[in-house]
């Protein structure tokens, strides 16, 4: 207790110096918490948009089709299949299962007027598709597809590219299962604008009954069975369980994270970047702590001599300096957590219009609009402990240097 009182007295002997070093640590904590919240919010929305509009929680298909789709190659129509009752039963037995929809994806050229554009055609069962994906909630003109009705739903960017409106005519040109060219023609039934930019420019939705005949496929053939879960956190574990159950069959199971390798890599890089920024602040803070303690030791050499002459051991004097450094870390950590908590609350309640300063599509992130922060409660105690530990470690060398002074020399120091 005596050593603690000495440390507290010395801590506030040079208030400006203490507040300056604590301020550096405070900025480190604030920057880390805010950037983590920003990144959590950004990737949370990005993954949700992938699940809601591109690839749901779990996808089942032939390995050849999935690998070609991942690599951006021509989708192999010959790798389609008809889901049997056994496969559907395994899917329904998954913990947290919500619904599934069969889809048939193929490549085509979208033609309107004199222009054509390569697109992904996703042929769907409109009723079950609406239970897994959310396109129908983002129709900005016309109506969503109805079972058995011809026509397509397209994104607003694709419509703008061709100058199309609801009721205008289109042509889809593609190769069927035999490799022969075929076409689908009709009217644009609906135009959607989802918060996933890629879907708005390169995806066309068509009724599956219309597509299978044109592709020379049997009526029940699909390219993927897409599964929605009640909880995103369950998806990866359940995808692995289903993959194990289907091992030895012709099927491969993929979770939404497996389908988003670029986004997952960006997420990992984002964490590295945050920790790099934190490390820079902490290095500056550690240098500041070392400098502050060296200056404090020089100013208090006689006092250190008196302490040793009064019988204080070297280890006790070292402990005094380490307690001072810990105090600097506590002040910086607490202030940083308070300001970090306020900044996270503001970000979660009011958000940021990221489109104003970030090109999300250029970064490979499937997200547009306003971003709201995420919250990781465990980061608060962890970053606080980390900052205090860094402060204590930075004090060890100057503390031992100060405590190593000879008592007689220190007392007569001028």
Of 117, 103, 348, 100, the closest CA to residue 205 belongs to 103
What is the pLDDT confidence band of residue 260, given thresholds at 50, 70 and 90?
Answer: confident
Q: H helices of 54-83, where?
A: 63-70
Token pair of 74 as six digits = 């021509």
Residue 26 CB-density burial (10 A; 0-12 exposed, 13-18 middle, 19+ buried): buried
Question: What is the pLDDT, as a whole number, of residue 213?
Answer: 87
Segment 250-273 shows an average pLDDT of 76
Token pair of 64 as six digits = 């050849």
The string of pLDDT tens digits covering residues 57-99 is 999 999 888 877 666 567 888 889 999 999 999 999 999 999 9
Segment 21-39 shows an average pLDDT of 86
- Per-residue CA distances from 122 to 42, 203, 307, 376 (Å): 27, 7, 80, 37
The string of pLDDT tens digits covering residues 307-320 is 666 666 777 777 77
Residue 215 CB-density burial (10 A; 0-12 exposed, 13-18 middle, 19+ buried): buried
Question: What is the pLDDT, as a whole number, of residue 27?
Answer: 85
User: By percentage, how much of the chain surpasses pLDDT 70?
Assistant: 80
Token pair of 25 as six digits = 């640590």
**Segment 246-249 long-range contacts (CB within 8 Å, at least 24 positions apart):** 246/60, 246/87, 246/90
Contact 227, 94 (CB under 8 A): yes
* pLDDT surpassing 70 at residue 301: no
Segment 223-242 shows an average pLDDT of 91
DSSP readout, 81-142?
B---HHHHHHHHTSTTEEEEEEEEEEEEEEEETTEEEEEEEEEE-HHHHHHH--GGGGEEEE
* pLDDT surpassing 80 at residue 306: no
Higher pLDDT, 182 or 371: 182
Segment 284-296 shows an average pLDDT of 70
* pLDDT surpassing 70 at residue 402: no
With residues binned 3-state (H G I as helix, E B as strand, rest as coil), the percentages for the chain, rounded to 5, are 55, 20, 25
Question: What is the pLDDT, as a whole number, of residue 130?
Answer: 93
Question: What is the pLDDT, as a whole number, of residue 73?
Answer: 64
Q: How far apart are CA 209 and CA 119, in angstroms?
A: 19
* pLDDT surpassing 90 at residue 407: no
Q: How many residues does the structure list for the chain?
A: 414
Cα angle at 304 between 302 and 306, to 5 degrees? 70
Higher pLDDT, 410 or 197: 197
* pLDDT surpassing 70 at residue 6: no
Contact 328, 394 (CB under 8 A): no
- Per-residue CA distances from 244 to 55, 123, 238, 253, 399 (Å): 20, 28, 10, 9, 57
Higher pLDDT, 259 or 209: 209
Token pair of 212 as six digits = 């299978």
Of 400, 399, 403, 407, the closest CA to residue 309 belongs to 407
Q: How far apart are CA 378 and CA 356, in angstroms?
A: 31
DSSP readout, 255-276?
ETTGGGHHHHHHHHHHHHHHHH
CB atoms within 10 A of CB 377: 7
Question: What is the pLDDT, as a whole number, of residue 339?
Answer: 94
- Mean pLDDT computed over every residue of the chain: 83
Question: What is the pLDDT, as a whole number, of residue 240?
Answer: 92
What is the pLDDT confidence band of residue 365, given thresholds at 50, 70 and 90?
Answer: low
List of residues 6+ apart from 244 with CB closer than 8 A: none
Question: What is the pLDDT, as a whole number, of residue 413?
Answer: 47
Kindly report which listed range (138-147, 238-247, 310-319, 405-414) carries the lowest average pLDDT score. 405-414
Of 152, 178, 179, the closest CA to residue 166 belongs to 152
The string of pLDDT tens digits covering residues 123-137 is 999 999 999 999 999
Higher pLDDT, 306 or 338: 338
Higher pLDDT, 335 or 304: 335
Segment 210-233 shows an average pLDDT of 90
Question: What is the pLDDT, as a whole number, of residue 295?
Answer: 67
Helix axes 85-92, 232-245, angle to 10 degrees: 140
Contact 108, 173 (CB under 8 A): yes
User: By percentage, how much of the chain surpasses pLDDT 90?
Assistant: 38
Kindly report which listed range (52-66, 262-276, 314-328, 334-348) carries the lowest average pLDDT score. 262-276
Q: How far apart are CA 160 and CA 191, in angstroms?
A: 10
DSSP readout, 157-222?
HHHHHHT--TT-EEEEEEE-TTS-EEEEEEEEEEEE--S-HHHHHHEEEEEHHHHHHHTT--TT-B
Interstrand relation of 115-124 and 203-207 (parallel, antiparallel or unpaired)? parallel
Of 62, 51, 77, the closest CA to residue 199 belongs to 51
The rounded Cα 32 to chain-centroid distance in angstroms is 15
* pLDDT surpassing 50 at residue 410: no
The string of pLDDT tens digits covering residues 158-178 is 999 999 999 999 999 999 888
SS3 category, 320 = helix
């Amino acid at each position: 207790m005596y050593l603690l009182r000495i440390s507290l007295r010395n801590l506030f002997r040079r208030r400006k110096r203490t507040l300056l070093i604590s301020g550096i640590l405070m900025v480190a904590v604030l920057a880390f918490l805010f950037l983590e919240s920003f990144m959590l919010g950004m990737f949370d929305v990005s993954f949700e948009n992938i699940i809601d509009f591109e690839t749901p929680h779990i996808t089942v298909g032939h390995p050849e089709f999935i690998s070609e789709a991942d690599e951006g190659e021509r989708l192999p129509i010959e790798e389609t299949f008809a889901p049997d009752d056994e496969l559907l039963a395994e899917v329904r037995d998954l913990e947290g299962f919500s619904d599934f929809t069969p889809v048939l994806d193929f490549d085509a050229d979208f033609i309107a007027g004199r222009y054509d554009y390569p697109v992904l055609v996703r042929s769907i069962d409109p009723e079950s598709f609406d239970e897994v994906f959310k396109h129908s909630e983002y129709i900005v003109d016309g109506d969503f597809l109805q079972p058995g009705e011809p026509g397509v739903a397209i994104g607003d960017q694709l419509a703008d590219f061709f100058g199309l409106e609801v009721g205008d005519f289109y042509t889809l040109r593609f190769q069927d299962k035999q490799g022969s060219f075929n076409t689908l023609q009709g009217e644009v039934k609906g135009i959607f604008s989802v918060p996933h930019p890629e879907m708005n420019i390169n995806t066309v939705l068509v009724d599956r009954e219309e597509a299978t005949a044109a592709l020379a496929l049997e009526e029940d053939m699909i390219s993927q069975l897409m599964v929605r879960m009640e909880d995103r956190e369950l998806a990866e574990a359940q995808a692995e369980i289903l993959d194990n159950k289907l091992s030895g069959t012709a099927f491969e199971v993929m979770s939404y994270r497996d389908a988003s390798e670029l986004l997952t890599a960006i997420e990992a890089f984002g964490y590295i970047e945050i920790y790099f920024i934190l490390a820079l602040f902490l290095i500056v803070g550690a240098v500041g702590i070392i400098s502050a303690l060296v200056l404090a030791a020089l100013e208090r050499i006689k006092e250190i001599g008196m302490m040793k002459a009064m019988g204080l051991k070297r280890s006790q004097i070292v402990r005094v300096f380490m307690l001072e450094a810990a105090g600097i870390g506590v002040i910086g950590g607490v202030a940083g957590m308070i300001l970090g908590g306020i900044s996270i609350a503001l970000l979660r309640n009011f958000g940021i219009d990221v489109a104003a300063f970030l090109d999300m599509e250029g970064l490979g992130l499937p997200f547009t609009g306003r971003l709201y922060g995420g919250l990781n409660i465990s980061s608060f105690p962890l970053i606080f402990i980390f900052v205090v530990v860094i402060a204590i470690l930075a004090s060890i060398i100057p503390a031992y240097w100060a405590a190593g002074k000879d008592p007689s020399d220190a007392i007569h120091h001028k």
